[in-house]
Amino acid sequence: MTSIPVRKLLGVAGVPTHRSSASRWLDLREIPTQIIRGNGGDTEVVALSDLPADVRRAYELREIEATGLPAGDYDDAAHERFAEAPPAMQAIALRKAEIARFLVKAGAGATFGLSARLVQAVQQQFGPKGTDRMTLRRILRAVDGVDPVNFAPALMPDFSRGGRPQDKISVEAWAFFMTTIRDAGPQFPLKQAWRDVRDVARKRGWQWPAYRTVLRRWDDLPEAQKLVARFGRDEATSRLTMPIKRAKTSIQSLEWVSLDGRTQDFWVDFGDGKPVRPVMLALVDTASNFVLGYEIAQSENAVATARLIRKVCQEYGIFDRLYTDNGSAFAGHLVAGGAKFKWRGKGRGQPGVKPLGVCFHLGIDLTFAIPKNARAKIAERTFAALSRVIDDRPEFKGAHAGHAPGAAPGRDVVPVPFSVMEAVVRREIDRHNREAGRKGQGAAGRSYEQVFQAGLAARIIRKPTKAQLYYASLIYTPASVDRWGRVQIDTWTYGGPETQQDMLAWHGKGQILIGRDPDNFDAPAVAFDDRGHMICKDIMPVKAGVYDSVNGARDAAKQRKSARTAVAQAEAANSYLDDAAFNAALAVLDAPEAATPPKPDKVLRGKFGGLQPKRQASPEAAPGRKPYLTPEMLENLDRAIGFKPALGSGK
């Protein structure tokens, strides 16, 4: 680094002429200075590369004039590239420029040898570092034919005497290099890509430098450009997206609940002897990281998810909002049916008919994670913390077959019984909830359970009613009402005399939603319209009897009796005329119409308010003008009540 005394800058390009003022001038511009102690006392110096461009340029011109060398023409483009270089590279180039001016002034040239005395003089002036004979020759060759004012840019890397960076790499060669990296695997070695380009460049005549030069250019690329070439657009976006910090202390317990499922790494025997990798579904309170509940199933399915939500709401109360991803088990009709927006199930049934889910009946709002951004869920992070704690337990020794999703068990894999797995999972989740000394947001050394209970104390608990839980446990299917007030779903028929009246109102008016117990189709069903309003409940299933059976005949007679009763009640509710009154009313139809009474010549109308202004005479009354109404029109208008031709209006 080339350092110069501050006193040598006095009066240069706006620098004050007094040393103390010059020091304050540098300090105000945050330009660092140093104090060098020598025999002559302390000297304040400043690095030449730290000075502003205009000050450094003026100082160099003055030093060149002092040497007696012609400054030459200032290369603006070269100095602009010099200004964009890192400060460390600028400092090295500025020091080499001073050495070059010293050599040129001494009469040294690029084609002549350097005497030992001149090399010794350079080393005494600039120190031994970078002043050996070979380095000095390279410096002279670099500035050969360059004006002294452009020595510093000329001694920067990739500088040519024409003022442009040296074109060491062909455009086609670099494009082939980047394409090789893009199409290869993410871990493909850069050196192997360089070798491929090298072999092709020899046959195509491309300019392709050494690997070290190519590596420097690769390292100089922006991080986004390298990530896109290595991993593709989506992965590069994911890696460059900075995570958002959320203040969980601003929400209460059960205000946000996160849902997720994870396939375990060990194999379990559910009682049928078949090894299965179980799936654990979990609901986690976002405010406290407390695991509210979990469900273990053979696969990630909507039935188990809905059962888990009902169980948690029964134990702790209905939570406000569920945050989940768009998996089929979470975003399907059974869980998210009836939501204003969901990812799956669009277009099923007729327009406007959407099956209702457990969240609709319990009054839980739904928020879905953005696709490929499920890591934002608290449940995802909880599973990351529990994965190794549970999966690698010694109780599951010998029950692993790898972590890959499609791993299959071999002969050496012994699945653990379901009871053992259930006991381990229950114990570890309880330990996760009750472990003290947590340092997360708002925990302050408490356990997740303590944080949850503290937030729960300030919340109004909403316990689900028996009816809510019942309706939330049903599965809903769109169906059309037939002319008897019944619905057909697969091979099941629902509808009876008790619900016929309510159901017939929907005959021919589109589909409705029929809710049935998934575990017992013999149980009564319920009906909702497309907006989630109940039509009727206790819709009994219709069971087909044996042909020509006594019970069938009895049921048919019962149905006819119910129909007769309903018809009799309807007939009594209607009001009818007796025969005499009805015939008298019909006789009026044949009677001649009465003569129309004559109309009065003049109809008086009331006047309200003040005096009305006089109206101008109509065009008919004006002398010499032909009336625009024909005699026939005037005769017809005279018959109209209250019409005054003079006013042109009937009002």
In sequence order, the β-bridge partners of residue 417 are 269
Q: For 488-510, write each residue's pLDDT tens digit.
A: 988 889 988 888 888 989 998 88
H or E stretch including 291? strand 291-297
C-alpha–C-alpha distance, residues 472 and 338, integer Å: 12
**Encoding tokens for residue 455?**
């937030």
C-alpha–C-alpha distance, residues 527 and 271, integer Å: 38
Is-contact 291 429, C-beta < 8 A? Answer: yes
* Residue 628, pLDDT above cutoff 70: no
C-alpha–C-alpha distance, residues 353 and 532, integer Å: 9
Torsions phi, psi for 542 (to 5 deg) = -100, 120
Residues in the chain: 651
Is-contact 101 140, C-beta < 8 A? Answer: no
C-alpha–C-alpha distance, residues 301 and 307, integer Å: 10
Q: Which residue has the tokens 């327009």?
A: 351
DSSP state of 598: P
- Classified as helix, coil or strand, 65 is helix
| Confidence band for 349, pLDDT divided at 50, 70 and 90 | very low
Is-contact 284 378, C-beta < 8 A? Answer: yes
C-alpha–C-alpha distance, residues 161 and 141, integer Å: 11
Quote the CATH superfamily of domain 248-457: Ribonuclease H-like superfamily/Ribonuclease H (3.30.420.10)
C-alpha–C-alpha distance, residues 336 and 608, integer Å: 66
Domain with CATH 3.30.420.10 in the chain: 248-457
Q: What is the DSSP string of 179-222?
A: HHHHHS-TT--HHHHHHHHHHHHHHHT-----HHHHHHHHHHS-
**Encoding tokens for residue 557?**
């007679």
Lowest mean pLDDT segment, chosen from 477-486, 571-580, 642-651? 642-651
Decide which of 443 and 344 is more confident. Answer: 443
Decide which of 616 and 335 is more confident. Answer: 335
Task: State the pLDDT at residue 387.
Answer: 78
Task: State the pLDDT at residue 601.
Answer: 59
The pLDDT of 263-267, averaged and rounded, is 86
Amino acid at 521: F
The pLDDT of 194-222, averaged and rounded, is 90
Is-contact 531 483, C-beta < 8 A? Answer: no
Task: State the pLDDT at residue 347.
Answer: 45
Say what percent of the chain tops pLDDT 70: 75
Is-contact 285 292, C-beta < 8 A? Answer: yes
Lowest mean pLDDT segment, chosen from 51-65, 221-235, 339-353? 339-353
Residue 196 half-sphere exposure toward CB, CA atoms < 13 A: 15
C-alpha–C-alpha distance, residues 246 and 279, integer Å: 29
Task: Catalogue the long-range contacts made by 326-331 (C-beta closer than 8 Å, 24 or more residues apart).
Answer: 326/368, 326/369, 326/371, 327/261, 327/300, 328/302, 329/261, 329/281, 329/300, 329/301, 329/302, 329/304, 329/305, 330/259, 330/261, 330/302, 330/305, 331/368
Decide which of 633 and 99 is more confident. Answer: 99
* Residue 206, pLDDT above cutoff 50: yes
Is-contact 493 480, C-beta < 8 A? Answer: no
Q: Which residues contact 275 (CB under 8 A, 6 or more apart)?
A: 267, 268, 269, 409, 413, 415
Decide which of 44 and 451 is more confident. Answer: 451
Domain with CATH 1.10.10 in the chain: 171-240
**The CATH number fitting domain 171-240, selected from 1.10.10, 3.30.1120, 1.10.8, 2.50.20:** 1.10.10
Task: State the pLDDT at residue 181.
Answer: 93
Q: For 287-331, write each residue's pLDDT tens digit.
A: 889 999 999 998 888 889 999 999 999 999 999 999 887 777 777
| Axis crossing angle, helix 87-105 with helix 53-67, rounded to the nearest 10 | 10
Is-contact 91 48, C-beta < 8 A? Answer: yes
The pLDDT of 124-138, averaged and rounded, is 79
Q: What is the DSSP string of 517-585?
A: BTTBTTS-EEEE-TTS-EEEEEEPEE----TT-HHHHHHHHHHHHHHHHHHHHHHHHS----HHHHHHH
Give the mean pLDDT of the chain: 78
Q: Is 370 exposed, middle or buried (0-12, 13-18, 19+ CB in 10 A)?
A: exposed
Q: Is 604 exposed, middle or buried (0-12, 13-18, 19+ CB in 10 A)?
A: exposed
Q: Shortest CA distance to 89 belongs to which of 170, 140, 152?
A: 152
Q: What angle do CA 84, 88, 90 make, to 5 degrees?
A: 50
Task: State the pLDDT at residue 405.
Answer: 64
* Residue 112, pLDDT above cutoff 90: no
Lowest mean pLDDT segment, chosen from 38-42, 272-276, 528-532? 38-42
Q: Which residue has the tokens 């069903």?
A: 525
Output the pTM of the full model: 0.54
**Encoding tokens for residue 221?**
């690329």
